[in-house]
Amino acid sequence: MLMRPVLLAFFAFSILFAQDDPFHQEAQQGPPSVPSLPNTVWVYAVFSNGTPASQVPVVLLLRSEKSDTIYRAITDYSGGFVLFVDRGSHQLDALIDFPSTSGIDFAATEDFAAPGKSNLTVIFYPAGSLAGRAASKDSPVPQATISVSCPSSAFNYSRINGGSKVLAGEAGEFLFKALPAGSCLVSAYHKGKAGSQEASIVAGETTMVSIEMGNKSSEDDLLLMAIVGLAAAFGLWLFLRGMGSMKASKQQEKKENKAPAKGKAAKKPGNRAPKQLTDAGIYDASSPKATAVLSTLSEREREIVLFLMRSGGRAKRSQIQHKLLIPKTSLLRNLRSLERKNIVKLHPFGRNLLAEINGQIFR
Percent of the chain with pLDDT over 90: 36
Q: Please, what is the average pLDDT of the chain?
A: 79
Q: Is residue 264 part of a domain?
A: no
> Is pLDDT of 263 > 50?
no
Asked, for residue 34, whether it belongs to a domain, the answer is no
Q: Using CA atoms, how far apart are residues 89 and 113, in angstroms rounded to an integer? A: 4
Same structural domain, 122 and 181: no
pLDDT digits (tens, 9 = 90+) for 97-107: 999 999 999 99
| Residue 256 pLDDT | 53
Give the model's confidence band at 287: pLDDT under 50 very low, under 70 low, under 90 confident, else very high.
confident
Per residue in 178-229, pLDDT (tens digit) is: 999 999 999 999 988 899 999 999 999 999 999 999 886 544 555 666 677 7
Same domain, 70 and 102: yes
CATH of the domain at 62: 2.60.40.1120
- Amino acid present at 282: I
The reply to whether 303 and 358 lie within a common domain is yes
Q: Is 116 found in the same domain as 133?
A: no
Q: How many CA atoms lie within 13 A of 266 on its CB side?
A: 9
Cα–Cα distance for residue pair 139/60, rounded to 1 Å:
38
8 Å CB contact between 139 and 63: no
Which residue, of 201, 218, 235, is where some domain finishes? Answer: 218
DSSP state, residue 278: -
Whether pLDDT at 232 is above 70:
yes
In a domain, 270, yes or no: no
Q: Is residue 288 domain-shared with residue 342, that is, in the same domain?
A: yes
Domain membership of residue 167 (yes or no) is yes
Q: Which of 173, 194, 218 is the last residue of a domain?
A: 218
Tell me, yes or no, whether 186 lies in a domain. Answer: yes
Q: Are residues 133 and 121 in the same domain?
A: no
Residues 89, 161, single domain; the answer is no
Comparing 88 with 116, the larger pLDDT belongs to 88
Rounded CA Rg of the chain? 31
Residue 143 pLDDT greater than 90, yes or no: yes
User: What pLDDT shows up at residue 160?
Assistant: 93
Q: Are residues 95 and 146 in the same domain?
A: no
Q: How confident is the model at residue 254 (pLDDT cuts 50, 70, 90)?
A: low
Highest mean pLDDT pick, 72-86, 247-261, 273-287, 307-321: 72-86
pLDDT for position 258: 55
* Range of weakest confidence among 145-154, 289-298, 336-345: 289-298
Instruction: With respect to residue 246, please indicate whether it lies within any of the assigned structural domains.
Output: no
Mean pLDDT, residues 6-31 taken together = 44
Pairing between β-strand 206-212 and β-strand 119-136 as defined by DSSP bridges: parallel
Number of domains in the chain: 3
248: left (phi over 0), alpha (psi -120 to 50) or beta: alpha
Q: Please provide the size of the chain in residues.
A: 363
User: Is the bond into 115 cis (omega within 30 degrees of 0)?
Assistant: yes
Q: Among 60-69, 73-82, 268-277, 341-350, which stretch is predicted with the lowest mean pLDDT?
A: 268-277
Residue 342 placed within a domain: yes
* Interatomic CA distance for residues 60 and 90, integer angstroms: 12
Domain limits for position 152: 128-218
Give the percent of the chain with pLDDT over 70: 74
Q: Which is more confident, 278 or 355?
A: 355
pLDDT of residue 280: 42
What residues are paired with 74 via a beta bridge? 57
Could you tell me if 135 and 213 lie in one domain?
yes
What CATH number does the domain containing 296 carry?
Answer: 1.10.10.10
- pLDDT band with cut points at 50, 70 and 90 for residue 67: confident
Mean pLDDT of 163-168: 89
Q: Are residues 212 and 133 in the same domain?
A: yes
Helices (H), 259-298: 288-294
Looking at the structure, tell me whether residues 313 and 357 fall in a common domain.
yes
Which position has the higher pLDDT, 97 or 310?
97
What is this structure's pTM?
0.51
Answer yes or no: is 172 within a domain: yes
Residue 322 has a pLDDT of: 85
pLDDT over 50 (residue 21)? no
Final residue in a domain of this structure, among 170, 190, 218: 218
Q: Provide the pLDDT for residue 274.
A: 40
Supply the pLDDT for residue 199. Answer: 94
